């Protein structure tokens, strides 16, 4: 029998929606408080690998994911003049782990997840600005003055989490907040990204291929790159950006607009700089960018941080709220989903009427089981970013050796290390581990 628990989820993003679907499967009651006036997402694409796909198949989402996604074959990496640097071949994914990695439009995955959450479970325009914990539960105080009480609160409200800010403010007053958690996140990267309209496959044949080969174009003199990925519907996802010079002004506390003078003019000027560049798809970057609907172009700044404090007695953080990952290795959504799996498993195993101590012990176990893998994802994404964007003779040689001379068995060994964790919910029927390389747990 499921425990008598009511959960408030702050944040209706991919992490929050996936958590809601898992709570439904566990027969645990919940409500989602979303700060926006509508439930939608920005961004271009999202990649999911076997670490998350086995869990999503268990939740009954696998067939629908295959309809909106393309399997990833690997990465072709070249300079901006198309002179080759090398490639990374991931075509062995399905045989080794039971699944290819898949790439899809982020809004398509978002709409799929949203379709599985009852509309009456979602409250819009509900930004959590404060909370009160006691031995009977936790009360969320929203910006509009409304209050929502539940047994526990899950902060799935992203890198700029209001839930995290509330609990950190209280812990700091009590001198219980580690120094690392008091430091602001540094904004280190900027990106402009989008998804093209359907392109003519006669002109761009790669859009009709069954597998997606990512094209990475590295600039010789700047720490910027262009990422291009064919996705479903004869479309190409694109991203242009890279690392900016570190600056003490560029943090969460000061914001971005003043430092970068960001705005539509800046976005258009940056895109104008790359429109003329050719691609290996038989068209120019401008052909892809120019076909992109304006509402599907986003300008974003990116940050990275691993937080040490993930919970209090009745409040717990999930996804970007406790481990913000750079997007280079496609780990952000995956880690949020794995957070949710671990958390829901622990909640489902509680006694019928859990106490504050029961919740706190479950959250401690959650942190112990998830923090190591999440930290590994943060570091791995950072290192892959260095690998792609670093300049100089040493960086060129590292890429040449890695991409040109590293044998495929070595690529597989590294990938095995990443893919070893393919968890499932313990209370649902298990999905067969179809890969040659079996999950460790």
pLDDT by 10-residue block (mean), the chain, 441 residues: 90 97 97 92 87 97 97 93 91 93 94 97 95 96 95 96 96 95 86 93 94 94 91 95 63 38 69 94 95 85 90 97 84 94 98 95 97 90 82 84 81 85 95 91 68
pLDDT for 250: 41
Closest CA to 34 of 20, 16, 47, 51: 16
pLDDT for 313: 97
pLDDT for 264: 64
pLDDT for 334: 94
pLDDT for 256: 39
pLDDT, tens digit, 9 for 90 and up, residues 236-265:
999 998 887 655 444 433 343 333 344 566
Per the structure block, which two tokens stand in for 282? 């038989």
Contact 366, 81 (CB under 8 A): no
Q: Residue 267 belongs to what domain range?
A: 187-303
d(CA 324, CA 319): 7
Q: Is residue 96 part of a domain?
A: no
Q: Is residue 267 part of a domain?
A: yes
Q: Is residue 299 part of a domain?
A: yes
Q: Is residue 274 part of a domain?
A: yes
| The overall pTM is greater than 0.75 | yes
Contact 332, 302 (CB under 8 A): no
pLDDT for 267: 81
> What angle do the packed helices 50-58 and 408-419 form, to 10 degrees?
40
Q: Is residue 292 part of a domain?
A: yes
Contact 291, 281 (CB under 8 A): no
Q: Work out how many domains the chain is built from and give that number.
A: 1
Q: Is residue 199 part of a domain?
A: yes
pLDDT for 246: 55
Q: Is residue 257 part of a domain?
A: yes
pLDDT for 251: 42
Q: Is residue 290 part of a domain?
A: yes
Closest CA to 387 of 265, 242, 190, 239: 242
């Amino acid at each position: 029998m499921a425990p008598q628990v009511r959960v408030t989820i702050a944040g209706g993003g991919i992490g929050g929606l996936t958590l809601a679907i898992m709570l439904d499967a566990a027969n645990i009651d919940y409500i989602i408080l979303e700060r926006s006036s509508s439930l939608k997402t920005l961004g271009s694409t999202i990649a999911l690998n076997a670490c998350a796909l086995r869990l999503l198949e268990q939740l009954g989402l696998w067939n629908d994911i295959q309809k909106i996604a393309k399997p990833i074959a690997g990465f072709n990496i070249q300079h901006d003049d198309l002179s080759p640097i090398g490639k990374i071949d991931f075509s062995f994914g399905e045989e080794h782990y039971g699944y290819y990695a898949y790439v899809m439009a982020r809004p398509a995955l978002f709409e799929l997840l949203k379709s599985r959450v009852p509309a009456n479970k979602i409250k819009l325009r509900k930004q959590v600005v404060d909370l009160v914990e006691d031995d009977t539960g936790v009360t969320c105080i929203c910006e509009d003055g409304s209050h929502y009480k539940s047994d526990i609160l899950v902060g799935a409200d992203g890198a700029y989490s209001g839930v995290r800010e509330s609990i950190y403010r209280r812990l700091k007053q009590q001198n219980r907040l580690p120094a690392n958690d008091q430091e602001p996140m540094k904004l280190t990267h900027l990106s402009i990204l989008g998804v093209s309209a359907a392109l003519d496959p006669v002109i761009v044949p790669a859009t009709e291929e069954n597998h997606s080969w990512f094209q990475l174009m590295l600039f010789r003199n700047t720490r910027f790159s262009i990422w291009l990925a064919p996705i479903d519907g004869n479309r190409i996802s694109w991203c242009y950006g890279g690392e900016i010079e570190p600056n003490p002004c560029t943090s969460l506390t000061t914001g971005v607009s003043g430092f970068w003078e960001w705005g539509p003019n800046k976005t258009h000027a940056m895109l104008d700089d790359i429109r003329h560049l050719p691609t290996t798809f038989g068209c120019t970057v401008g052909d892809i960018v120019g076909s992109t609907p304006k509402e599907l172009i986003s300008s974003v700044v990116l940050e990275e941080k691993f937080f040490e404090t993930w919970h209090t007695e009745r409040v717990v953080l999930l996804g970007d709220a406790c481990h913000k990952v750079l997007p280079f290795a496609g780990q952000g959504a995956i880690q949020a989903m794995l957070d949710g799996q671990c958390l829901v498993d622990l909640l489902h195993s509680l006694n019928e009427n859990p106490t504050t101590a029961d919740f706190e012990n479950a959250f401690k176990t959650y942190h112990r089981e998830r923090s190591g893998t999440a930290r590994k994802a943060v570091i791995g994404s950072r290192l892959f970013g260095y690998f792609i964007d670093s300049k100089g003779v040493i960086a060129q040689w590292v890429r040449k050796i890695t991409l040109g001379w590293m044998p495929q068995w070595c690529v597989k060994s590294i990938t095995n290390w990443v893919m070893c964790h393919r968890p499932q919910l313990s209370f649902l029927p298990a999905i067969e581990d179809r890969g040659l390389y079996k999950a460790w747990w």
